[in-house]
Amino acid sequence: MPLCDLRVDLGALQRNVERLSALVSPTPLAAVVKANAYGHGLLPAARALSGHVARLCVYEVDEALALREGGITDPILIFGPVPLQALESAHAAGAAITLWDPGFARQAADTARRRGTPFAVHAKIDTGVGRLGLHPEQAPGALAALAAMPELHLEGCYTHLASAEDLDEGFTSQQHRRFIAATEHALPAGSIRHMAASAAAMMWPETRLEMVRMGIAVYGVWPSRESRLFLQSRAIRGLHDGDPTAGLLEPAITWTTSIAALRELAPGEPVGYGSTWHAPRRALIATLPVGYAEGLDRGLSNRGAVLIDGRRCPIVGRICMDMCMVDATEVPRAHVGQRVTLLGRDGLAEITADDLAEWSGTIAYEVLARLPHHLPRSYA
C-alpha cells in the first residue's frame, strides 16, 4: 500500500484548457507537458489533453517518443536540444524540433534526406532571455536559409519572454518588437509564430500571434500573483464583462499521506534533527511517512503546514529524507492512519502550490515539477 498518493483530476485539465482557449480565442492553444506534465504524469495528462489543443510541447526527445509509444497522434514540438544520435528517432516520431544553429540544421536536413521526408522544425530567436536562439539581427537571413532547404519544413518560429509575469510591460513590449521585426518578412506563408506562455497569453493580447503555449495554467495554477491581479483590474476598469479570473483555473492535483505515528511531548521537548523545534506546551506530534525524497521540500521545515481533519497543522522540526513531523495538538480526533493533505483541499481548508512555494522560498512551477516520478499517482 503506498505511503502517499498524488490524485490527478484529468477533467480539471480539460476544463482549464476549455476556459483558457475561450480566453485567448481565436488564437490556438498548445499545451506544455514537459517535466512529467508539471508533475501530473506525462502520458495520462497528454491523453486527457489530446484533441483539445493545437499541439503538445515537450522538452526532450524521450518525452516525444513516450507520447508516440502511448498512442498520442497530436502534433508535438520539442523545445530543447536534440542529440545528433536522436535525430532519426525524432524524425520517425513526426515531432518538430527546435533549430537555432545552422550546423545542426544541416544535420537535421541530412537526416530528413536519408529518411525521404522533410523534417518539421521551428526556429528559435533569442529576444532577451539570453539562453537559446538566433540573434534577432541574424534571424531574417537564417530563417530564409531554413525556408530554402527542401529537406526542412519550417512550421514556425518562436521566442521566450523574460518578464511577461510583471505588471511593467516595458521589456515584454521590447521583446515583442524585436520578434516581429525579425520575422515579419522572413517566414513562409502559413508559418506559426508564437511567443506567449501562460502569463503573456493572459496579460498581453498582442503577444498571442498565431499560437500560445500554456503550461502552468493548464494545471490550474496562476503563473504569478500579478497575472491574476491584472485580469481582475481589467474587470474593474470595465474592459471585461465580469471577473475573468472567477473559476478560470482549477488545480488538478491533490497530494495526500497518512499519520504513521503519534507521540505526546512535554513542554520544552525537541523534535527532529538538530532539535530546531521545542514544544511550547504539551504537544501531540504526528509523524508522516513523507520527506524530501518524496518531494516535500526541506525548506518547509518549521515553515510549512499540512491539513488534518480540515485543520492547518504546522510542520515542526527538520524534514527528514522520508519522514516529517507536524504539530497535531489542535486535532482532537487525530489517529494513526488518518488522511493528511499535503497539497489540495480538505473541507474548507486548502494548501496550494503557491503556499508551498512561498513557505519554501521558490515558485509553484518548481513545487510541481519536482514531484518525484516514483510517487504513485491515481487518475480520475
Q: Is residue 273 flagged as an active site residue?
A: yes
Let me know: does 102 contact 145? Beta carbons within 8 Å: yes
Same domain assignment for residues 22 and 122: yes
Same domain assignment for residues 257 and 138: no
Q: CA 67 to CA 314: how far, in whole Å?
A: 40
Q: Which domain holds residue 32?
A: 10-236
In a domain, 241, yes or no: no
Same domain assignment for residues 262 and 186: no
Residue 264 confidence (pLDDT) above 70? yes
In a domain, 1, yes or no: no
Residue 48 confidence (pLDDT) above 50? yes
In a domain, 15, yes or no: yes
Same domain assignment for residues 212 and 346: no
Same domain assignment for residues 79 and 176: yes
Same domain assignment for residues 68 and 197: yes
The active-site residue out of 34, 219, 292, 365 is 34
- CA triplet 34, 192, 115: central angle to 5 degrees? 75
Q: CA 228 to CA 244: how far, in whole Å?
A: 9
CA dist list (Å): 75 to 31, 193, 259: 11, 16, 44
Domain boundary among 187, 203, 236: 236
Reported in sequence order, the residue ranges of 173-224 that DSSP labels E, i.e. its strands, are 192-194, 212-214
Same domain assignment for residues 172 and 265: no
Pairing of strands 97-99, 119-124: parallel
Residue 239 confidence (pLDDT) above 50? no
pLDDT of residue 380: 93
Same domain assignment for residues 110 and 204: yes
Q: CA 290 to CA 296: how far, in whole Å?
A: 7
- Across the range 49-53, mean pLDDT stands at 98
Residue 156 confidence (pLDDT) above 60? yes
**Count of residues for the chain?**
380
At 167, the pLDDT band (50, 70, 90 cuts) reads confident
Computed over every residue of the chain, the mean pLDDT equals 95
Q: Specify the CATH number for the domain of residue 161.
A: 3.20.20.10
| 3 state DSSP class of 194 | strand
Q: Specify the CATH number for the domain of residue 357.
A: 2.40.37.10
Q: What pLDDT, in 10s, does the model give residues 70-104?
A: 999 999 999 999 999 999 999 999 999 999 999 99
Residue 263 confidence (pLDDT) above 80? yes
pLDDT of residue 267: 98
Q: What values do phi and psi take at 34, rounded to 5?
A: -65, 170
Residue 235 confidence (pLDDT) above 70? no
Same domain assignment for residues 229 and 117: yes
- Burial track 112-132 (b if 16+ CB lie within 10 A, e otherwise): beeeeebbbbbbbbbbbeeeb
Same domain assignment for residues 230 and 259: no
CA dihedral 58→64→66→67, nearest 10 degrees, is: 80
Percentage of the chain with pLDDT > 90? 90
- Across the range 40-56, mean pLDDT stands at 98
Residue 59 confidence (pLDDT) above 70? yes
In a domain, 218, yes or no: yes
- Across the range 140-161, mean pLDDT stands at 97
In a domain, 245, yes or no: no
Same domain assignment for residues 124 and 97: yes
Q: CA 209 to CA 127: how far, in whole Å?
A: 16
Same domain assignment for residues 177 and 302: no
Let me know: does 223 contact 202? Beta carbons within 8 Å: yes
Concatenate the DSSP letters of all residues of 90-129 into one string. Answer: HHHTT-BEEE--HHHHHHHHHHHHHHTSPEEEEEEB-SSS
Cell of 209: 500571434
The active-site residue out of 59, 158, 219, 273 is 273
pLDDT of residue 241: 55
pLDDT of residue 238: 47
pLDDT of residue 226: 84
pLDDT of residue 233: 73
At 318, the pLDDT band (50, 70, 90 cuts) reads very high
Q: What pLDDT, in 10s, does the model give residues 276-314?
A: 999 999 999 999 999 999 999 999 999 999 999 999 999
Residue 330 confidence (pLDDT) above 90? yes
Q: What pLDDT, in 10s, does the model give residues 2-35?
A: 799 999 999 999 999 999 999 999 999 999 999 9
At 242, the pLDDT band (50, 70, 90 cuts) reads low
Q: CA 341 to CA 344: how far, in whole Å?
A: 6
Q: Is residue 124 flagged as an active site residue?
A: no
Domain boundary among 236, 270, 299: 236
User: How many structural domains does the chain have?
Assistant: 2
In a domain, 188, yes or no: yes
Q: CA 240 to CA 85: how far, in whole Å?
A: 50
Residue 165 confidence (pLDDT) above 90? no
